[in-house]
Amino acid sequence: METVREEHIEKSVHKKKMKPWIKWTLISLSALFIIAISLFIYVNAYVNRSLPQIEGEQILGGLNEDVTVLRDEDGVAHISAQSNEDLFYAQGYITAQDRLFQMEMSRRQASGRLSEVAGEAALTQDKYFRTLGLRRAAEASLELYDDEAQQALEAYANGVNEYIREVEKENKWPVEFKLMGMDSMEEWTIIDSLTIGKYMAYDLGGHWERQAFNYYLIHHFSEEEAYELFPTYPQNALTNISDEEYVDLSKSMAQAPKTHEFNGSNNWVVSGDKTESGMPILANDPHLGLQTPSIWYQVHLKSGEYDVSGVIFAGVPGVILGHNQDIAWGVTNVGPDVQQLYLEKRHDENPHQFLYDEEWVEADVINEVIHVKDGESVDLEVVETVHGPIISEFTNGIDPEETSTAFSVDWTALDPTPELSAILSINRASNWDEFEQALEDFHAPAQNFVFASKDGTIAYKANGKIPKYQDPDHALLPLPGWESEYDLNEHVPFNELPTLINPEKGFIATANNKVISDQYPYHISHMWAQPYRYTRIYQVLEKQDQLTVEDMMKLQMDQMNLQAEWLVPIMVDILENQDLSEDEKSALSLLKDWDYNDDKNDPQPLIFHQFFDEVEEQLFSEHIPEDIYSMFSGKGQNVDQLIANVLSGETSLWFDKNGGLEKVFKDSFTITVQNLKDEYGTDMNNWAWGDYHQVYFAHPLSNISFLDRFFNKMDPVQVGGSHVTVMATSFRDDGTVDHGASWRFVIDMDRIDQSYHIVGPGQAGHYRSKWYDDQIIDWVEGNYHLTDTKADSGSTLHLIAD
């Protein structure tokens, strides 16, 4: 009996003993868990360390007197200072708190220095911007600035540098710096701010690409086919340059970074005669790239001379769009012909000499060195002729010693220009005369300014440094660089730029449309936007009185597609006479019942936009190489015009070579319906525009797969509108909306302290901030936030003078 008991006890003890491998496995897992938790806590603490300080006190050695920074419930900084110097110092410091990584990337992009941190992937882009010379132009511009503007720039740079020193001392770099292997940052300079300004002129000033495309057309198609795709049919185009040695665009210029085809905006101003308040109302929504963080930084600046609220580019002092206590203003892009290509003749033995008025003139040679992360540095030779830099060889795809011709570009923004002086003067202006006087210094980019003031004035001016062409057709193609008679040395006089003050109709609106009549004495542009957005704005403003801020918000979110209203009845007439499948008949029936709103929940916008894209594909894809096709800006206007020509009885060679209008429409519709069935199923009632058309504010690092969710916490969001609606939502081939109203702004001059804004995706640049992406849904749905320049509640940071 005792033996049995002992055996039982021995077995029980054996059961209680843990096997060694299990024990060590648990210990290892526990250790790993502790390490993971510790690492998480460390990373979390490190990431949070770089969040901006928004409350309490911060001693700053560069201040003369204390400054107060109140951040309202939307993260907008209201900066109050006793002097202008302290105001701009604080603006630089606070902007760097919120957007330091964006500022660093912006100056690198504009200066051609991204390869230093991004590696070889950015090399082609760096070569282009070094060749173009935005930074050289910024350096040349500094001499135009008076002491006041230079002091503002210097104070701003000092504020930025104060924050950089703080970051270095406390090792609180934004996480993006660490992810890119950056543990230091050069000091901020005046030239950095001016270079960012030049980049915005570049982003809004594209024109040479279309000249290059037209040049390609006349070398690869008959004159009739080429001219049919010109933005206007030329009478005196200089096709004699086709006799010179052809410059292969695919080896160089087709690889240049492209500005967005739909860079533009809406703005309008309504007089008090048409408003409920009896005072003017102004609205503006600039259309630029949609990104994280926003291209705009909203701020309110107040000192003895300034009380101005609105938006500015991170890295630049002042407020470029917005209002003060007397006036408000907004812009759209004029889109003038300010970039001109010149075909240059090179000396057979000296590649740095070019023919000019029967003499060989030595070009300026600038030797640039591009440092490449994890790679060898690249030497780049930039050659500048009397017209501007040679841009047809920036990729090194063409050997200059083996070619007798090259393209240079003349561009007004490469000249010294003093836009920041204009901005600071605008910020302090109190009436139209002072505002217009300030505009004389705003040369590039050329903008349609609308204006309202508390005295009831509404006004408009198409402003900028716009070349005077001897013949408008000369702006369609490159010009002979060897003949000085084609030089663009004169500009439209400032007092003769298009201007309108207090019109009888009671409102002024622009949407990148043609802003001049045929009687206007100067050439402005061949590349006006399609008229649909402007026409819709005009329709709404003309028929309504007693307009309110809410009406303006509603109009900014308007999704009426006037292109479809014109084209769908034509489609129906053509396709009803075709042999359609049952699915095609169903799709056509849906289009016939459409109200022409690009509503995200409806199938009709999906069918229409896919159809129109397919028409373009049918017309051009087999005839124009993809890299050259990327330079075909404004093709939507061309297709509209080709369709209109055919309907009016004219011949279209491009439709004819593809079987005629009816065949192109039928084939495009068949392909569209089949593609949509494959993608979204056979039940067309379940198709929705928003299933394809979705907005995504991409962060620069979100293209790295594992960082996508990190920096873009929200999935793409379904959205209505399109590139032809007032609610501008331009989209890529995959349906991603990446371009549109980068900022929405409405103000009633009756309540000058209060303005309404949407800054998508949000105000902050730090992904842990509550203001990082809090306005994405607001952007989609049109929920505006109120900014009050008299705000007295929020998070307050006191910047203390040391």
Task: Give the rounded distance of the alpha carbon of 86 from its chain centre.
Answer: 31
Identify the CA nearest to 380 among candidates 136, 140, 137, 129: 129
The helix (run of H) or strand (run of E) holding residue 312 is strand 307-313
pLDDT band, residue 346 (cuts 50/70/90): very high
Peptide bond just before 293 cis, omega within 30 deg = yes
* DSSP state letter for 242: G
pLDDT class for 32, splitting at 50, 70, 90? low
Please give the torsion angle defined by the CA atoms of residues 745, 749, 753 and 754, in that order, rounded to the nearest 10 degrees: -40
Cα-trace Rg, the chain: 30
Q: What 3-state class would DSSP assign to 395?
A: coil
pLDDT band at 490 (very low <50, low <70, confident <90, very high): very high
pLDDT given for residue 237 in this prediction: 63
The mean per-residue pLDDT over the stretch 337-350 comes to 96
Question: Rounded distance, CA 527 to CA 465, Å?
Answer: 17
Q: What angle do CA 379, 381, 382 make, to 5 degrees?
A: 135
Q: Per-residue pLDDT tens for 382-426?
A: 999 999 999 999 988 778 888 899 999 999 999 999 999 999 999
pLDDT per position as a tens digit, 106-147:
999 999 999 999 999 999 999 999 999 999 999 999 999 999
Q: What pLDDT is stored for residue 13 in this prediction? A: 45
Give the pLDDT score at 30: 61
Long-range contacts of 163-166 (CB under 8 A, 24+ apart): 163/92, 163/93, 163/96, 163/97, 163/100, 164/96, 164/100, 164/188
Maximum CA pair distance of the chain? Answer: 126
Cα distance between residue 199 and residue 289, in whole Å: 13
pLDDT the model gives residue 9: 44
pLDDT band at 534 (very low <50, low <70, confident <90, very high): very high
Binding residues are 337
**pLDDT: is 487 or 257 the higher one?**
487
- Bridge partners (DSSP) of residue 311 are 298, 321
* Straight-line distance from the first to the last Cα atom of the chain, in angstroms, rounded to the nearest whole number: 91
- Structure-block tokens of residue 56: 């309490």
What's the sign of the alpha-carbon dihedral 52, 54, 57, 58? positive
Mean pLDDT of the chain: 93
Angle, vertex CA 619, rays to CA 616 and CA 620, nearest 5: 85
Task: Tell me whether the omega of the peptide bond preceding residue 761 falls within 30 degrees of 0, making it cis.
Answer: yes
Q: Residue 48 — very low, low, confident or very high, per pLDDT cuts 50/70/90? A: confident
- The CA distance from 546 to 144, in Å, is 45
Q: What is the pLDDT of residues 258-299, one digit of tens each?
A: 887 777 899 999 999 999 999 999 999 999 999 999 999 999
CA distances, 560 to each of 29, 593, 596, 619 (Å): 60, 15, 6, 27
263 Cβ contact partners less than 8 Å away, ≥ 6 residues apart: 203, 204, 206, 287, 288, 333, 739
Question: What are the structure tokens assigned to 42, written together?
Answer: 């460390």
Show binding-site residues for Ca(2+).
337
Which pLDDT score is estimated for 434?
98
Query: Using an 8 Å Cβ cutoff, are 123 and 102 in contact?
Result: no
3-state secondary structure 727-740: CEEEECCCCEEEEE
Query: Within 10 Å of residue 253's Cβ, how many Cβ atoms?
Result: 29
Angle value at C-alpha 50, between 47 and 54, nearest 5 degrees: 130
The residue among 69, 106, 522, 529 whose CA lies nearest residue 289 is 106
Residue the block writes with tokens 């504009």 = 110
The letter for the amino acid at 358 is E
- Asked whether 311 and 759 are in contact (CB, 8 A), the reply is yes
Three-point CA angle 446, 318, 314, nearest 5°: 85
Angle in degrees, 0-180, between the axes of helices 134-141 and 190-203, rounded to the nearest 10: 120
Q: 352-367 pLDDT, tens per residue?
A: 999 999 999 999 999 9
Q: Which amino acid is at 481?
A: G
Is 265 part of the annotated catalytic residue set?
Answer: yes
User: Using one digit for the tens of pLDDT, what is the confidence trace for 450-472?
Assistant: 999 999 999 999 999 999 999 99
What pLDDT, on a 0 to 100 scale, did the predictor assign at position 175? 94
Q: How far apart are CA 523 and CA 473, in angstroms?
A: 9
Q: Is the separation of the CB atoms in 202 and 257 below 8 Å?
A: no
pLDDT of 52 higher than 80: yes
Residues in the chain: 802
Catalytic one of 265, 294, 633, 742: 265
% of the chain surpassing 90 pLDDT: 86
Q: Model's pTM, two decimal places?
A: 0.93
Domain boundaries, the chain: 2-49, 562-596+603-687
| Per-residue pLDDT at 4 exceeds 60 | no
Task: Write b or e for each residue in 604-634: b if 16 or more Cβ atoms lie within 10 A of its Cβ, otherwise e.
Answer: bbbbbbbbbebbbebbbeeebeeebbbbbbb
